[in-house]
Structure 1
């Protein structure tokens, strides 16, 4: 089999990596380049590679969309809680500040324990919220009327 001789110029870093790969594989640099070129020029090799990359990008895009959706739920949840808390909280008199702080610490410890149990069971509040939203949307589309508006907190 005859072969054509080519003189090519490549980046020094590529030349270094080519030499390392050839030594590692125990083949000549020409053999590595010939295999890479055959793979690149193969009619299905490039298509398979592009299809694999496209599939991976699609999966990453879906994951990013879910992260963005979950982040929006968390931001809205926090915003609603802060609005509600600021709406219903009354200032604590100076004489009762220490008792209020102690009660706050105890309530926070209880919250952390409950959160830990929730996470250990593998439950996700965000997932539950999305399921609830999907159920409401399905019931609305099924002709059961408009869903009720959420209460933002008591009017002051």
Structure 2
């Protein structure tokens, strides 16, 4: 039974003398052949070319996305810091309610529930308080 021969194409190429000497020395090692060395080298070179082509194609987009994520992160930090300072300020200036003041507690609970409902509505619709295209009719300055 003979070995099945793969479809191969013959090439003739010219190498500089220095590179030719190194190539011959590498091919002289046991288990190495000139064809196998050239196939491996060409395969590796083409793979690097494909990677650099993909990198060039996607690097601009990835850079743009990195900048956008950086802005989102910065905005998130600003929002969190603003909220923390506002809450701290409110807790410092607001007097605590008396346990017996049920009416004030009910008003506070209603205001909190309205606040939570408004946040939920804003998140559900995707609208934004800052930079909104048009103010809602029930918004008061």
**TM-score, length basis structure 2:** 0.52
Name the structure with the higher helix share.
Answer: 1
Q: Is the 8 A contact 2:97 2:104 kept in 1?
A: yes
Q: Give aligned pairs, total.
A: 100
1:27-66 → structure 2 map (5 Å cutoff): 37=44, 39-42=46-49, 45-66=50-71
Structure 1 CA distance, aligned partners of 2:43 and 2:127?
48
2:119 corresponds to which residue? 115
Structure-2 change in CA distance of 1:58 and 1:41 (3 Å): closer
Q: CA RMSD in A?
A: 3.2
Runs of 5+ unmatched residues, structure 1: 7-29, 130-156
User: CA offsets, 1:59-113, max 9 Å, x none?
Assistant: 33113212222212212321231133123311222322x4444333221211122
1:5 corresponds to which residue? 36
Please state how far the C-alpha of 1:35 moved relative to its aligned partner: 9.2
Please state how far the C-alpha of 1:39 moved relative to its aligned partner: 3.3
1:89 corresponds to which residue? 94
User: CA offsets, 1:3-45, max 9 Å, x none?
Assistant: 8125xxxxxxxxxxxxxxxxxxxxxxx9xx8996463254xx3
Compare relative contact order (CA 8 Å, sep 6+) and give the higher one, 1 or 2.
1
- Structure with bigger gyration radius: 2
Structure-2 change in CA distance of 1:93 and 1:41 (3 Å): closer
